[in-house]
Amino acid sequence: MDIKGKIAVMNWKCNPSSKEEAEALAIASDMDGVIICPPAPFIEAVRNKLNKAILGSQDGFWEEGAFTGEYSFNQLASVGVKYSVIGHSERRWLFSEDSNLISKKVKAAIKAGIIPILCIGEKERISEPEAIETVLSQLMASIKDIAEDDMENIIIAYEPVWAIGTGKNASLKEVEPVILGIIEYFKENFDKKMNIIYGGSVLSENVKNYMISPYIGGVLIGGSSLNKDKALEIIKIIRSTI
Ligand code: 13P
């Protein structure tokens, strides 16, 4: 399920409160190039409202069986999920998921035919070389069991944790070198061309900055994806800049 051009991934996190609100939000964001990741209880309701946007999930589990509260990537695939956010910083820091556990999820998602949107990002604002080193080590640990042939089937979401939900987005000057560092690493070591998106306080006021970069494949949007007008504005800006 390949999307041409830049993508907008809508991560609704644990929002909204009701199925009706989720359906209304889905209808408002149903445009080409958009991937909508609702909370698990609303996945089917949202899927039924989408004609152009593609269905995603916010997580998934690598196995089936006696794992109360979990749901597998195969189960997600069977209800139409094409992309899964994996290793989001909220999972890493609030739910203690480490890169070893995340690597199992990435592998299982690929096996189920789901494209992982693998999140990485440094926690605090650090220097550019430190940020590149931190995210590369997170990334390599999170894909340690992935065959080289599958690497290009992963979307990498670079989300500096300090920029998430703070209104303090990382500037293009801060984001581009880190993304380039990842791109160059994969080119040199594996001869692979990676697709990398940015996330962290993306707003209609700043989204254009990222879209003009040839190295940034799209954006991962949290808070702004929950407001119909703001989400639509962001999608329109993305479409007008590609
Ligand atoms: P915000 O856009 O609210 O900063 O969230 C970013 C994010 O975590 C998307 O996954």
Nearest atom (ligand 1) to Cα of 164: 4
The answer to whether residue 64 is catalytic is no
CATH code: domain of residue 81: 3.20.20.70
Please write the tens of the pLDDT for every residue from 81-123. Answer: 999 999 999 999 999 999 999 999 999 999 999 999 999 999 9
pTM, rounded to two decimals: 0.97
- Whether 73 is in a domain gets the answer yes
Total domain count, the chain: 1
Q: Output the six-digit token pair for 90.
A: 């909220």
Mean of pLDDT over the chain: 96
Distances (CA, A) of 44 to 22, 105, 171: 11, 21, 36
Is residue 84 a part of any domain in this protein?
yes
Q: Does some domain include residue 215? A: yes
- Catalytic hit among 88, 90, 97, 122: 88
pLDDT digits (tens, 9 = 90+) for 176-214: 999 999 999 999 999 999 999 999 999 999 999 999 999
Instruction: Confirm whether 27 is domain-assigned.
Output: yes
* CB distance 79 to 48 below 8 Å: no
Q: 225: number of CA atoms within 13 Å, CB side?
A: 29
Which of 118, 206, 221 most suits a substitution to test ligand 1, by most atoms within 8 Å of the C-beta? 221
Q: What domain range includes position 216? A: 7-240
**Residue 128 CB: number of other CB atoms within 10 A?**
13
Is 1 inside a domain boundary? no
Structure tokens at 21: 């609100």
DSSP state of 3: P
